[in-house]
Amino acid sequence: MYRRSLLAFFSTPAVAQTWPGGPVRIIAPFPPGGSVDTIARLLVPALQASLGVPVVIENRSGAAGALGTAAAARALPDGLTWVLVFDSFATANALNPQAGFDARRDFAPVMLLATAPMLLTAPLGRPWHSLGEVAAAARAKPDTLTYGTVGTGSLAHLTMEVWQQAAGLKLIHVPYRGGGPLATAAASGEVDLAIASRVGLGGQVGTRLRALAQSGAKRSPALPDLPTFAEAGFPGVAAEAFWGMLGPAGTPGPVLARFHAALAAALADPATRQRLEEGQGVDIVASSPEAFAAFLDTQTAEWGKVVRERGIKAD
């Protein structure tokens, strides 16, 4: 009853008109240095200019993003707390029914911010220069090559599961606690392969890491010379990382609309757009709330099925 009365209070026109009355908090449910943290911080200057209040990024990592996401689900729906989720959000409930939130019931979708192909990479010291060469090496010595991802159940992990099945391979999965730790491990050669978006790999591609293939259904405009998995001989293997903004369920419609407008303005800002597209290699989407909700439904169904079929469990 108390929460319902709060919802009614925060839905009044007066509250919507005075929002935001204080600092806005965006929870990044992964460690600093990863793609979620990077994208959130790139949005801050333009968001602050649009909203006229401080915008604070709060890193609350743990349980493959579930801890910070659950904290956002429990926050008051007053428009002062939001969460920037990564693609692992789509598999959170299939992977861990005790995650502490319902991915669709407990949140109000705001915007699909961006997508990006994932890059399968190898340290420059490894001998492979193509996906075919990796496949041949993996077939010659099953269960010896290692690959790193940002965590169990991430789309990177599931994409590699799909690829192994399609190619008849057996690799060893090494999950890390976010993009920062993965990028460090990949650059040092701690794993044979690493798969993540370009932003998730922390600028190591082309300097310490060699990109072998990209995971999108078609080549990203940012990577016109890099073949897709399908072009490298593995049709049916396609996925993209994504980043989206959510609020707690019950956030008033006018507040959602204003925050959506502020995000749209931030993504349209030339300097912010350049940093994201050219600097981080993401493809800006800036969807409507309704389109993001439909996207999440599709992603949850598709990748939840992969989790269940392969019996993947949270670490």
Q: Is the confidence at residue 254, as pLDDT, over 70?
A: yes
List all residues 6 or more positions away from 242 whose beta carbon is below 8 Å from its beta carbon.
86, 87, 112, 114, 115, 116, 295, 299
Chain-wide mean pLDDT for the chain?
91
Across 214-225, average pLDDT: 91
Q: Is the confidence at residue 302, as pLDDT, over 80?
A: yes
% of the chain with per-residue pLDDT over 90: 77
Q: Is the confidence at residue 253, as pLDDT, over 50?
A: yes
Residues 88-121: tens digit of each pLDDT: 999 999 998 888 999 999 999 999 999 999 999 9
Q: Which amino acid is at 219?
A: R
Across 48-69, average pLDDT: 93
CA distances from 212 to 127, 184, 187, 279 (A): 11, 19, 15, 20
pLDDT class of 18 with cuts at 50, 70, 90: confident
Q: What domains are defined for the chain? A: 2-115+241-310 (3.40.190.150), 117-214 (3.40.190.10)
Q: What number of residues does the chain have?
A: 315
Across 53-62, average pLDDT: 94
Tokens (6 digits) for 172: 């060893």
Residues 173-208: tens digit of each pLDDT: 999 987 888 999 999 999 999 999 988 887 788 899
Q: Is the confidence at residue 1, as pLDDT, over 50?
A: no
